[in-house]
Chain A
């Protein structure tokens, strides 16, 4: 396809110069581009994949959990209206412990209206199909005068230098581009991260996550179910009804890795029966809809998020177990913090790619992400086993949390992405 260049040059800019160059125009990279352009920053986003393909259901049939803080960010950036119709609100979260073939434990944790704190009528979060998020991002990006979204396009070379001079990029079309700051939003296998010699700390788990859309007979009433089975959590998250009017939920099923290939190979009826054995009958008959995906579970964390004129965001900086549904939320919190840091520096006349400016971003985000990764790891270890004493301890623990409203609210605020030193965008404010 022809290369699209939504054009515009900011003050002092020209075709060969930009302030921020973002490698990777997926959900995280493009949101960053929109956030920066919204504050008047001249920004170029490079995306190697064809945008038409990336919004096709066959390309990515997955859904994402959008925490409240993330929804505020998307609303503040004018992205939310383009996806609101495809977003299913989460009104209740039910956490329970169980075994295959038996009912969920009665000692379960229930999050509803009471924990929604100050705004009881606001949902705790939303489930949205990734392709709906991408479609909304593409539409918003096209409206930003200082954003050049170049697709399909990639970096073929980058010289970041060591001093005052800007980074020098070469694109696959042969164009040269100078930038004060380069951002790697390239996902887990980030080539820019590798080229910068930034090492990853990784934990591997003997589990994989199976992800797909599930059609079910009964409506979900906005309830998200997180059912802890011996092999790991089994979650059904409420989605909007399908085009055919059928009820749908998004499945995130953590299973022993050795079992996953066999599960993926089952026909729809047999796969649906496996789901039913684990989930029970509360939503009526379950059957998979569309493609099934699987991901080996691992946690990865970059030893640092920055280098000379380089910042890592999203999965390029940290890959997280899907147990908490926080992957995209964490990535967009990186976006909020980096955008605020860059815009703040620029308003003080500072070079946005300068080490002291980037150090602030790293300090802001790395601690928060570390805490979440340790928590996630702990949750997985606590729940992914069938030892009787641990089962008892976690059941008692869930029940205890359920009976302590302040603690329960704190957990909820965490899951909603509303705890910590919140960037302005996460609070729903403009940069």
Chain B
């Protein structure tokens, strides 16, 4: 592996996973590219993050910059699909990714967009070692890709300020998730490159909640995400059998 594709180390980093995403780095911002499903998912998860973070910190979600001044860490930020909108909403955002390519793509794109975002090529463990702490920690569509999810969540929790909030998004380990996220999305629809997801690494909501509690967090909410193939849009609901999000707070 060349210098540009070197990966960071830590309990959370799975080198094979990092290499798989490195190969697709140039596609992060292509609307019809390999990350198109994430672009489609973006509005609904942004709305959830904005509304919950604003409510948690007593802000009005409808304000022009509802997240103004909040320190947010996005772990596994990829090309910056979440970091850029959150920066426009006023957040002071740091995005970290274990892949060097993603950080470079994200940095270049933010500059073209005229946004100031602190991108670092780092693992969660390396970030924790710096002593920096955040009001909001995000790990969206990430825990299904890390090597040791329980250790990763404990590390992520340590990055939160007291009174902070963590939001996680991932896939459930159900037969339906296997059919939709792997057979459907990777093999039938070719939305995602084959091998993007490994069903055995998916976590049930109860397992993810237990890991969050193990990290000293209090689980506030678990919501499901469902896709409407007719409108091409996602919505939040009670059905957590495929995609879901978990919100937890640090006392």
Majority DSSP secondary structure for residues of A touching B: loop
Are the C-beta atoms of A350 and B85 separated by less than 8 Å? yes
**A363 CB contacts on chain B under 8 angstroms:** 231-232
Question: Whole-angstrom distance between the alpha carbons of A350 and B43 in the complex?
Answer: 8
Are the C-beta atoms of B84 and A347 separated by less than 8 Å? no
Please list 8 pairs of residues, one from A and one from B, whose beta carbons are closer than 8 Å in the complex, sorted by A's number. A11-B64, A344-B43, A348-B42, A348-B85, A349-B50, A349-B84, A350-B85, A356-B31
B46 partner, pick from A349, A354, A355, beta carbons under 8 A: A349
Are the C-beta atoms of A356 and B112 separated by less than 8 Å? no
Are the C-beta atoms of A165 and B112 separated by less than 8 Å? yes
B9 beta carbon closer than 8 Å to chain A: no
Question: Whole-angstrom distance between the alpha carbons of A83 and B59 in the complex?
Answer: 39
Are the C-beta atoms of B87 and A349 separated by less than 8 Å? yes
Contact code string B46-80 (vs A, CB < 8 Å = 1, else 0): 11001000000000001010000000000000000
**A347 CB contacts on chain B under 8 angstroms:** 50, 62
**A163 CB contacts on chain B under 8 angstroms:** 29, 112
A348 partner, pick from B47, B232, B233, beta carbons under 8 A: B47
Best-buried of A165, A347, A360 by chain B (most CB within 10 Å)? A347
**A165 CB contacts on chain B under 8 angstroms:** 112
Binding site for B on A (CB under 8 A): 11, 40, 163-165, 344-345, 347-351, 354-356, 359-360, 363
Question: Whole-angstrom distance between the alpha carbons of A347 and B85 in the complex?
Answer: 9
Given contacts A11-B64, A164-B112, contact A350 B42 (CB under 8 A): yes
B113 beta carbon closer than 8 Å to chain A: yes
B128 beta carbon closer than 8 Å to chain A: no
Closest approach, in angstroms, between the C-beta of A38 and any C-beta of chain B? 14
B34 beta carbon closer than 8 Å to chain A: no
B238 beta carbon closer than 8 Å to chain A: no
Given contacts A356-B31, A363-B232, contact A345 B43 (CB under 8 A): yes
Are the C-beta atoms of B88 and A164 separated by less than 8 Å? no
**B87 CB contacts on chain A under 8 angstroms:** 349
Majority DSSP secondary structure for residues of B touching A: helix
**B42 CB contacts on chain A under 8 angstroms:** 348, 350, 356
Question: Whole-angstrom distance between the alpha carbons of A355 and B50 in the complex?
Answer: 22
Are the C-beta atoms of A349 and B88 separated by less than 8 Å? yes
A164-B109, A345-B43 known; 18 new pairs, CB 8 Å cut-off, are A163-B29, A164-B112, A344-B43, A348-B50, A348-B85, A348-B89, A349-B46, A349-B50, A349-B85, A350-B42, A350-B43, A350-B46, A350-B85, A350-B88, A351-B84, A356-B39, A356-B43, A363-B231
| Nearest neighbor of B232 in chain A, beta-carbon distance | A363
B20 beta carbon closer than 8 Å to chain A: no
B86 beta carbon closer than 8 Å to chain A: yes
Best-buried of A163, A348, A355 by chain B (most CB within 10 Å)? A348
Given contacts A164-B113, A363-B231, A363-B232, contact A349 B64 (CB under 8 A): no
Closest approach, in angstroms, between the C-beta of B46 and any C-beta of chain A? 4
Question: Whole-angstrom distance between the alpha carbons of A11 and B65 in the complex?
Answer: 10
Closest approach, in angstroms, between the C-beta of A343 and any C-beta of chain B? 11
**B194 CB contacts on chain A under 8 angstroms:** none
Interface residue total, chain B, C-beta cutoff 8 A: 24
Closest approach, in angstroms, between the C-beta of B76 and any C-beta of chain A? 19
Are the C-beta atoms of B113 and A351 separated by less than 8 Å? yes
Closest approach, in angstroms, between the C-beta of A42 and any C-beta of chain B? 12
B40 beta carbon closer than 8 Å to chain A: yes
**B233 CB contacts on chain A under 8 angstroms:** 360
| Nearest neighbor of A344 in chain B, beta-carbon distance | B43
Question: Whole-angstrom distance between the alpha carbons of A40 and B87 in the complex?
Answer: 19
Closest approach, in angstroms, between the C-beta of B43 and any C-beta of chain A? 6
| Nearest neighbor of B66 in chain A, beta-carbon distance | A347
**A348 CB contacts on chain B under 8 angstroms:** 42-43, 46-47, 50, 85, 89
Are the C-beta atoms of A349 and B89 separated by less than 8 Å? yes
**B109 CB contacts on chain A under 8 angstroms:** 164
| Nearest neighbor of B39 in chain A, beta-carbon distance | A356
Are the C-beta atoms of B86 and A349 separated by less than 8 Å? yes
Best-buried of A11, A164, A354, A355 by chain B (most CB within 10 Å)? A164
| Nearest neighbor of A10 in chain B, beta-carbon distance | B64
Question: Whole-angstrom distance between the alpha carbons of A40 and B85 in the complex?
Answer: 18
Question: Whole-angstrom distance between the alpha carbons of A354 and B32 in the complex?
Answer: 12
Question: Whole-angstrom distance between the alpha carbons of A344 and B46 in the complex?
Answer: 11
Question: Whole-angstrom distance between the alpha carbons of A345 and B89 in the complex?
Answer: 11
Contact code string B87-119 (vs A, CB < 8 Å = 1, else 0): 111000000000000000000010011000000
Are the C-beta atoms of B31 and A354 separated by less than 8 Å? yes
Closest approach, in angstroms, between the C-beta of A25 and any C-beta of chain B? 26
Question: Whole-angstrom distance between the alpha carbons of A308 and B138 in the complex?
Answer: 30
Closest approach, in angstroms, between the C-beta of B54 and any C-beta of chain A? 11
Question: Whole-angstrom distance between the alpha carbons of A118 and B64 in the complex?
Answer: 37
Question: Whole-angstrom distance between the alpha carbons of A360 and B42 in the complex?
Answer: 13
Question: Whole-angstrom distance between the alpha carbons of A355 and B35 in the complex?
Answer: 13
**B89 CB contacts on chain A under 8 angstroms:** 348-349
**B62 CB contacts on chain A under 8 angstroms:** 347
| Nearest neighbor of A348 in chain B, beta-carbon distance | B46
Are the C-beta atoms of B231 and A164 separated by less than 8 Å? no
Closest approach, in angstroms, between the C-beta of A124 and any C-beta of chain B? 30
Question: Whole-angstrom distance between the alpha carbons of A347 and B113 in the complex?
Answer: 17
Question: Whole-angstrom distance between the alpha carbons of A317 and B233 in the complex?
Answer: 24
Question: Whole-angstrom distance between the alpha carbons of A351 and B62 in the complex?
Answer: 17
Question: Whole-angstrom distance between the alpha carbons of A163 and B33 in the complex?
Answer: 13
| Nearest neighbor of A351 in chain B, beta-carbon distance | B113
| Nearest neighbor of A163 in chain B, beta-carbon distance | B112
Question: Whole-angstrom distance between the alpha carbons of A356 and B31 in the complex?
Answer: 7
| Nearest neighbor of A360 in chain B, beta-carbon distance | B233
**B85 CB contacts on chain A under 8 angstroms:** 348-350
Question: Whole-angstrom distance between the alpha carbons of A405 and B62 in the complex?
Answer: 42
Closest approach, in angstroms, between the C-beta of A353 and any C-beta of chain B? 11
